[in-house]
Structure 1
Amino acid sequence: MILLASATEIPFLTEIMVILGLSILVIYIFQKLNMPAVLGFLATGVMFGPHALGFVQSGEEIEMLSEIGVILLLFIIGLEFSIKSLVSMKKVVLVGGSMQVGLTILLSGLIAYFLGFGMNEAVFLGFLISLSSTAIVLKVLQDKGLMRTPQGRIALGILIFQDVIVVPMMLLTPILAGLDSNVAMSLFILLIKVILVIGLVYVSARHLVPRLLHEIARTRSRELFLITIIVICFSVAYFTSIMGLSLALGAFMAGLSISESEYSHQATGLIIPFREIFTSFFFVSIGMLLDLDFVIHNLALVALFTFGVFIIKFGIIVLSTLALKYPLKTGIVAGFSLFQVGEFAFILSRSGLETGLLNDNTYQYFLSVSILTMGMTPFLIDYGDKLAANLLRTPFKKLAFMENAVGNVVETDTDDLDELQGHLIIIGYGTNGHNAARTARKAEIPYVILEMDADLVKKAKDKGEPILFGDAKNTHILDHVRIHRARVAVVAVSDHHDALVIVSQIRELSKTVHVVIRAKTIAQSEELLIGGASEAISEEFEASVEVFARMLNQFLVSNDEIDDYIETIRDETYSAIHSNYHVYKRNAVEIAKLKTANIHIDRHSLFSEKHLCETKIFDENKVRVVGILRNGKLKKNFTGDTILREDDEVIITGSELNINFFMNQWEELNAKKMPDLDEVSGI
């Protein structure tokens, strides 16, 4: 017998329902106003929390759900990085993080001291102000695809340092309050714990987790894979928690341990829906802390303190970024990302209240400034580049001398996938997928493969294939392989329902990619075409065509007649299910009639060292540049800004008539004496 608990037996069920219901309304309005969803959740907490309309009361249950949201957020961030990339960031973490935290504590502590706070209270306020919001910053950066940019890497590195340094700060809090004096031993024990956790994560990432996930993936059970990922996440987070470190840091470490395997992208795609729902509780719970009456009655001071915090943290982050040898603009954009006071400061502030380092009045000012700076963050990240460009036109640009003194560093530690453009995506690595990949490789077409068979992925990876373990029914996976920038997607999966879902997900992300898909029957082909496929090839029909072609061949029917029969049958069959079939056929006929030619760019050529967009002769003669042979390598990805170099071979295509007209004009132009550049620029 199943017993159903009533809402009264689950007290926080009502609050969950109210929070989510109100969030729908508020976020809908914010989306219509083109405002970030994060602000919608914060606004929900502010408006309907205990200090305003009172629809939702703050409770331990809501805080617990919000903590799960932060854990899942940091877990996904860890998944998207690797230990190798993190090691490459050690300078950002250690130098940038220590400089930002140290200078912020020093400067804000001095200001607080001159405002009348005691030395210990001033240092503690410096602790609070030095911490930024891991949850909000990383959420916004991730949503906008900025995690792998220089400013994204700086933000992550400094936030990691802050997440670690908050533990010593909590150990120092009772000492500042005069309640404990054995700080040296506490810090030594903390150091041992950190080394132990890092060692465990390293061993897990290199040896344990990849093997475990490979065995789990071989079962092809989505449920088992998901549960395993969640258990790994919460186990490591729990381990770091009992070691005296933060849950969020443990979740990040858990993500890192999986990031070294080929299953990280699939794991990310499965976890994202859970992250979204739980992080919403976190942002709502933060908004619920704000006392609107206090802000209204002390608006001038709250605004002044908020501006002061912004100036202090923004300036120090810019200086820290310049010290790391990044450009000034990167420092400005990073400053707009990390100026706020974060969630770990809330945890630390409670310790300050309990030990007497903060009084109620100071705590309310701290909360007001923190939440206001959090609310400003999505806007300043969104417009960071534009604001930085405007600042660089002002006297602020004089700081550029520091940039020149330390030199510039441009980090491009990104996956090869970031460079893909106009590529082929092969979904499924069975016979059809394997043949498609082999053909693409021979034709030098850039491609990437998605496959759900763990053994196939491992074997193909060992052979050097660009293959990922991932479910193409997940939009995160499709986005990761840059479906919106692909030219063609070949769907070579055997399950018809899966194929329909994949086509639907592809069309949700891209309306332009050409989707070629296989189907077993004509009826399935028609269904796939209606669902969004560009071309659907029926295995049953094509097999029947091959059968009767070989039959006719045995009856000594000529190959030309057989080709005519095949064309007639294909016309009748495919035109009945595909409204654009005749368009494809006409295009194929026209392509078959195209001719190609090569032109050599020598030192005296009119177009040597000129951009392609300046060479109007190609458009005027209706011929198209399809490739540039340079230094023995074929360059297929080019734009109007591509410069033609000496000894380039430009490959053009067009109708025979247009090619002939072009070649005649080309020879005439190059036979003439080299005119002035001004005369040539209009050619």
Structure 2
Amino acid sequence: MPHETPLISTIVAGLVLAFVLGAIANRLRMPPLVGYLIAGVVVGPYTPGFVADAELATELSEIGVILLMFGVGLHFSLKDLLSVRAITIPGAVAQIGGATLLGLGLALLMGWSVGAGLIFGLALSVASTVVLLKALQDRRLIDSERGRIAVGWLIVEDLAMVLALVLIPAIASVSGASEAELHDPFVSFVERTLNTELGIVGILAVTVVKIAAFVGCMLVIGRRLIPLVLHATAHTGSRELFRLAVLAIALGVAAGAAYLFGVSLALGAFFAGMILSESELSHRAAQESLPLRDAFAVLFFVSVGMLFDPWTLVNNPLPVLATLFIILIGKSVFAFLIVVAFKRPVGTALTISASLAQIGEFSFILAALGVGLGILPPEGRDLILAGAIISIILNPAMFWGIDIIRPMLEGRFRLQPAGPVEPSFADATLTGLDVTPDGPVTRQPVPDHVPSPQDEDIEKTSAPTRLIGHTIVVGYGRVGSVVSAGLKGRGEPFLVIEDAEGRINAARAEGIEVIVGNAASRGVLALANVEGARTAIVAIPNAFEAGQAVEQARRLNPAIRIIARAHSDEELSHLDHLGADTVIMGEREIGLGMLGWLDGSHEDAVAGREPPTTPGPEPVAAAILPEAEAPPSAVIAPVPAEPEPIMAPPASTFEPEAPPSSLTHSAAEPATADDGAVDLTPPEVVAMPAPPPVEPRAVLPGVDVPGLSPDPLVPPAPPLPVDVPVESADSIGPAEPVEDDTAAPRIPPVRSEPRDP
């Protein structure tokens, strides 16, 4: 006779149905979690057919919550938590208070008691850990300033709910409930020891002491013990043991925090991850826990769906709508006003508002406890569940909605345009050009809309840049730092736009100019002088924010050249549609690079072309910076139709376009150039017969073009190193000595010729 297996049947039914319905939801362009919730309704007790074990599903879902909070803690240091305490503590408390008052008012209108109204309001005030973190992770906001504030806000809410769970029995005793003796075991122990009954103030004090004891224990003991155990396991070389150690630490600390200190499982797991984040093994630990975390997080949504009675929507439509109004509108408005009151950016306020516009696991716990103690009527639990289900389904739409109203709110925050700024020619040195302004030089005009420092994500005050004809690098992560190092090595003027504090400090430590903020903001781009920039390199991995940055940059400067990165064909098409000139997909470039190494032509493979049989004369600069998109600092230098005859020493005319092979060393004196020609006087250089006359072309500053083929009319000669002196606005510097005579010659600034139609 086959034995019953409720655990296996619950897991199988939950995961299989979640997969099928989640795939259908994804096909319909809806979030997969909608399918997960519907799967829970299908296997729940309120629909016909198979009924899964709701208690087992709830316990299994707790594992997903634990692993999710553990993963967040791995990317969230104690320093990050303390850095946002000034807004998260008062903000979360004020938001909880406002939402609780709204819930209390609705409860009183429905004829419930004050105690029931308080529990109902508290249940509506706290957001779901899983939903909030999943929304931030999907949008890659966890490591941003907005993400840190949202997670810190969530931690304060969890701590407040821990206090609420302890105080609910005290509320029950005041209201005379029959099960008021159900106190926390530790509180009961203190009462027996002191031979007195603790009131609400005493219970609150004991709870605060327990939480403080847990935090102190983690900081003193856990900070030393947890990394030590994980490092010892890693040195064994066993991947299985390491994965098991990660799970044991996450689940063990969470369970210990709940049983010994009375804090939530999620909070205990978060502190375990945060302690481990200081170890260099934190990224590996996050990778090992990722598969299990996602699987059990799915079971959380299934368990929520199992608690929902669809008939509630039919029997109580108006109370359901009122509950949804509090969750979606009331909480969001409170959160937005609170964040703006703390003078945070509008983008941050909108993100926090959308993140908190739902309720979840703590709401279910509060509702179950309230019904069990006889304080909250069963109708209240049904309204809470209905509000949770619908708000979770609508939460992605809230994020979509803030993208629509964001420009309208941005228009309310304006800044007076800055006056004329004299640019620093030292910052925008032009190689091979004689830049002598006739009078005071002013910056490019600022755009019509310049947001205030509270607009967008300008977390710190940034002065407008004084660069012109520069490159803007968006993001200073793994890609942006490499690009910045290359630009710095080439001596090109550039700046970085970044909003992560650690990366800002790292860039400034390298002497790089940084504009603090989000590149999707018009105000931030105005500070970076996007209208006077030559190129924008969008190096951030988030395709959504990258698209916003590309769109804004293209709108403010239609002539700017934009290069972006992508991870998939969909992202590539998205960025190309928004105005990027070149989109580089990392995975494709890696594959082409590997193929290139196989046949020894790495550069040609990466460029997507066959190796040429003979080097062509087309300048590389024409591909990098087309003439139509020449920088504002470029000049049109006419070249004389007939070159000057070659003079014997001591004087000669140096023609920068002459191929390196046509130059020989000899004594020379400074020579004069014709009108419009660039006057360059390198020491001891005599030009051999000049090439045929060329038409006027745009001078591109600071471009070295390797591999220029010699003119076929000039007899070949051994290449000699040539170094062209740099002319800036202030002085003409002598040529730098050539360190290696065998090195490839350095070509003077190239004058790119328009391609034939």
Q: Which category describes the TM-score, using the shorter chain as reference length?
A: 0.5 to 0.7
**Is 1:344 equivalent to 2:362 in the alignment?**
yes
CA contact (8 A) 2:258 2:264 kept: yes
**Is 1:612 equivalent to 2:607 in the alignment?**
no
Query: Unmatched 5+ residue regions in structure 2?
Result: 174-179, 182-197, 414-450, 462-472, 495-508, 511-538, 546-566, 573-583, 623-628, 638-695, 705-727, 733-744
**Is 1:536 equivalent to 2:554 in the alignment?**
no
Letter in 1 for 2:64: G
CA contact (8 A) 2:700 2:749 kept: no
What is the match of residue 352 of structure 2? 334
What is the match of residue 21 of structure 1? 16
What is the match of residue 512 of structure 1? 585
1:658, distance to aligned residue in structure 2 (A): 9.2
Give the one of 74, 94, 98 matched to 2:93.
Answer: 98
What is the match of residue 158 of structure 1? 153
1:135-284 pair list within 5 angstroms = 135-178=130-173, 179=180, 182-204=199-221, 206-242=223-259, 243-284=261-302
1:304, distance to aligned residue in structure 2 (A): 3.1
**Which deviates more, 386-395 or 204-213?**
386-395
1:70, distance to aligned residue in structure 2 (A): 0.5
CA contact (8 A) 1:71 1:247 kept: yes
CA–CA distance in structure 2, aligned partners of residues 382 and 325 of structure 1: 24
C-alpha spacing 1:404/1:624, structure 2 compared with 1 (3 Å): closer
CA contact (8 A) 1:38 1:283 kept: yes
C-alpha spacing 1:152/1:135, structure 2 compared with 1 (3 Å): same
Structure 1, residues 321-340: CA drift from partner, whole Å, max 9, x if none? Answer: 12322134432332122022
CA–CA distance in structure 2, aligned partners of residues 421 and 341 of structure 1: 36
Give the one of 317, 322, 327 matched to 1:309.
Answer: 327
Structure 1, residues 65-119: CA drift from partner, whole Å, max 9, x if none? Answer: 1010010111111111111111112123311111111222234324433543222
CA–CA distance in structure 2, aligned partners of residues 50 and 138 of structure 1: 29
1:295-306 pair list within 5 angstroms = 295-306=313-324
CA contact (8 A) 2:700 2:752 kept: no
**Which deviates more, 194-203 or 178-187?**
178-187
Letter in 1 for 2:69: L
1:512-661 pair list within 5 angstroms = 512-513=585-586, 533-536=594-597, 583=609, 585-586=611-612, 589=615, 612=631, 621=697, 659-660=750-751
What is the match of residue 427 of structure 2? none
CA–CA distance in structure 2, aligned partners of residues 63 and 612 of structure 1: 61
Structure 1, residues 577-614: CA drift from partner, whole Å, max 9, x if none? Answer: x9999946439956998699xxxxxxxxxxxxx99379
CA–CA distance in structure 2, aligned partners of residues 106 and 328 of structure 1: 25
CA contact (8 A) 1:322 1:331 kept: yes
SS at match of 1:533: helix
CA contact (8 A) 1:310 1:340 kept: yes
Letter in 1 for 2:78: I
C-alpha spacing 1:214/1:16, structure 2 compared with 1 (3 Å): closer
SS at match of 1:34: coil
CA–CA distance in structure 2, aligned partners of residues 591 and 223 of structure 1: 58
C-alpha spacing 1:182/1:276, structure 2 compared with 1 (3 Å): same
1:283, distance to aligned residue in structure 2 (A): 0.5
**Is 1:370 equivalent to 2:370 in the alignment?**
no
1:173, distance to aligned residue in structure 2 (A): 1.1
What is the match of residue 420 of structure 1? 477
What is the match of residue 108 of structure 2? 113
1:142, distance to aligned residue in structure 2 (A): 0.8
Letter in 2 for 1:586: P
1:280, distance to aligned residue in structure 2 (A): 0.3
What is the match of residue 376 of structure 2? 358
1:478-497 pair list within 5 angstroms = none
What is the match of residue 635 of structure 1? none
CA–CA distance in structure 1, aligned partners of residues 617 and 91 of structure 2: 57
CA contact (8 A) 1:417 1:482 kept: no
What is the match of residue 288 of structure 1? 306
1:319, distance to aligned residue in structure 2 (A): 2.0
SS at match of 2:254: helix
1:197, distance to aligned residue in structure 2 (A): 1.6
Structure 1, residues 171-215: CA drift from partner, whole Å, max 9, x if none? Answer: 111222222663333222222221122122223565333444333
What is the match of residue 130 of structure 1? 125
Structure 1, residues 18-53: CA drift from partner, whole Å, max 9, x if none? Answer: 222222221111111221122221122124422224
CA–CA distance in structure 2, aligned partners of residues 236 and 322 of structure 1: 36
1:141, distance to aligned residue in structure 2 (A): 1.0
CA contact (8 A) 2:10 2:53 kept: no
What is the match of residue 73 of structure 2? 78
C-alpha spacing 1:264/1:175, structure 2 compared with 1 (3 Å): same
Give the one of 338, 342, 361 matched to 1:320.
Answer: 338
Structure 1, residues 366-421: CA drift from partner, whole Å, max 9, x if none? Answer: 221222112111221244222333466799xxxxxxx98999984489xx995237
C-alpha spacing 1:587/1:226, structure 2 compared with 1 (3 Å): farther
1:133, distance to aligned residue in structure 2 (A): 1.0
CA–CA distance in structure 2, aligned partners of residues 331 and 228 of structure 1: 39
Larger helix proportion of the pair:
1
Using structure 1 for the length normalisation, give the TM-score. 0.64
C-alpha spacing 1:211/1:296, structure 2 compared with 1 (3 Å): same
SS at match of 2:351: helix
CA–CA distance in structure 2, aligned partners of residues 339 and 326 of structure 1: 19
CA contact (8 A) 1:133 1:340 kept: yes
Structure 1, residues 110-144: CA drift from partner, whole Å, max 9, x if none? Answer: 44335432222222222111111111111111122
CA–CA distance in structure 2, aligned partners of residues 648 and 376 of structure 1: 63
CA–CA distance in structure 1, aligned partners of residues 455 and 589 of structure 2: 49
C-alpha spacing 1:301/1:439, structure 2 compared with 1 (3 Å): closer
C-alpha spacing 1:659/1:211, structure 2 compared with 1 (3 Å): same
CA–CA distance in structure 2, aligned partners of residues 587 and 49 of structure 1: 70
1:515, distance to aligned residue in structure 2 (A): 8.2
Letter in 2 for 1:535: G
1:9, distance to aligned residue in structure 2 (A): 4.4
Q: Which entry has the higher C-alpha Rg, 1 or 2?
A: 2
CA–CA distance in structure 2, aligned partners of residues 369 and 119 of structure 1: 20
Equivalenced residue count is 508
CA contact (8 A) 2:65 2:297 kept: yes
Letter in 2 for 1:174: P
C-alpha spacing 1:86/1:306, structure 2 compared with 1 (3 Å): same
SS at match of 1:189: helix
CA–CA distance in structure 1, aligned partners of residues 141 and 34 of structure 2: 19
CA–CA distance in structure 1, aligned partners of residues 702 and 223 of structure 2: 44
CA contact (8 A) 1:108 1:126 kept: yes
CA contact (8 A) 2:41 2:305 kept: yes
